[in-house]
Structure 1
Amino acid sequence: MDGTKIWNVRVSALKLSRRLTKILEKIPRGSKLADIGSDHALLPVAAVECGAAVQAVAGEVNPGPYDAAVKQVIESGMTDVISVRKGDGLNVLSAGEADVITIAGMGGSLIAAILDRGIEKLAGVRRLVLQPNVGEDILRRWLHSHGWVLIEEWILEEDGKIYEVLVAEPSDTTGLTNEQVYKERTIGDGVRLSADWLFRMGPWLTQSPNPVFHDKWTSEMEKMGYILQSLSRSDLPAAADKASEIRSDIEFIQEVLACLPKDKP
């Protein structure tokens, strides 16, 4: 049986979600993994089982998920290669202990704060695989300003929710630069995607959009519409300025979506 088949069997046995499966796919084979906010430690166990990780740390700050992670690792017979640790963020790690870090299921601002507070623990880390639930643009900006290059990103839907997975590597280890990734470009009939909009919408997602990408931004426009309704009830000058800004954003997003293919690339 080849490695791909083993991977499929293992993942099926663990019943990983599509979201966690995508994250697992982005962990290079033979990694020393740290999964922060590991919950039930499903990802570290799957990573070790399929050979993506040779050892792993499962970090969890909350007592219930920590206990569940300990139980999962024991039941999987992996206590010799997976260390479950209770602690906040990257505090569970020693510098150089992991070369791949995964953080999933939190807001982008929280993930950025975790990375920022433990920035010394990132020395020797060759890849970050991050899945923010919201605030993806905040996380992209943090990566950009701290010398990490976004090398790929994915968007998917599961159980009615939309998730984005961001993969980043240190700027001195990848052939890409942030200047290349976030370089302003023109799409369609002259619609210009600035660096600011690439941070918001995703530099790779706008290159290879799928129906989920369109669904996300259609939903974002609907939310903006609700905000406009609320602002229309205010006579404050600031409300009028904000409403004008939102209307401009909606118009621009409509233009972008009209220029981008909707089918899977």
Structure 2
Amino acid sequence: MLVFATDLDRTIIFSQRFLTGCEDVTLVERKQSELIAYMTGAAKELFKKLARSITVVPVTTRNREEYNRISVLQEIDYKYCILNNGGRIYVNGAEDPTWNEIIARKTAALGKTYDQILHEFFKVFGSAGLRRYKLSGDLLWVLSVKDYFPADRLEYFRQYAQGYGWNVAATGKKIYLLPLFINKRKAVVYLQTTYLKDVRLVSAGDSILDRDMVTGADIGFIPRHGDIAGLERSNVYTTVNQGLLAGEEILKNVMAMAGKKEGC
């Protein structure tokens, strides 16, 4: 059985800044009057067709409220989804209680609490460079920055945080502070061992938070515009296209695999 575990933002759906040069565009997310995310019309139809053909597992850093805004997900049938970067797993719309227990147990053993790690971040970087920050789903800090933070200072803080069980990931103008065990790949592995045994796994993602999931799959796809594009692995492919057309290209490749019942 073929399973497609895919990141959403900047992999399958895209913000307005990726629309340049695309004519076949359809809106797939809005927040009140704000237009947020798009796909090509062809990609949307491919995604819906793919969900009817194989097991599709959306995997995202979004929380449930943000996830529910994506209209195309209301148009497909799927049994599993992974939210909060792997912090929550949903099966038939309900949170998996065993996974929640695992996350809660590991959270209690962290070397620093959520408030403490944020305090340490402010001690190193201050708060003047932040636009806003939030604790998403009570599982990870999401910090939106005004400008890119120096890479050497981020690396220093990342190494410091790792000693207390925390990951620091920068993608675009967002910085994520999250426990090392809240990881998309770990959540996908749990799904495989619990519900989806003996499957061929295809995965797609664009950012450092997707790297383990993409490289750990049987076949992985990275959009050319992605932070991890060009990653050299025998099982990982970078798209020819960028932006919305990269998302469409990924879906075409997975659809071809579904039709052939085999890899690239």
Compare the two structures and name the one with the higher helix fraction.
Answer: 1
Category of TM-score, reference length = shorter chain? 0.3 to 0.5
Structure label with greater radius of gyration:
1
User: Normalization by structure 2: what TM-score?
Assistant: 0.32
Provide the TM-score with structure 1 as the length reference. Answer: 0.32
The structure that is strand-richer by fraction is 2
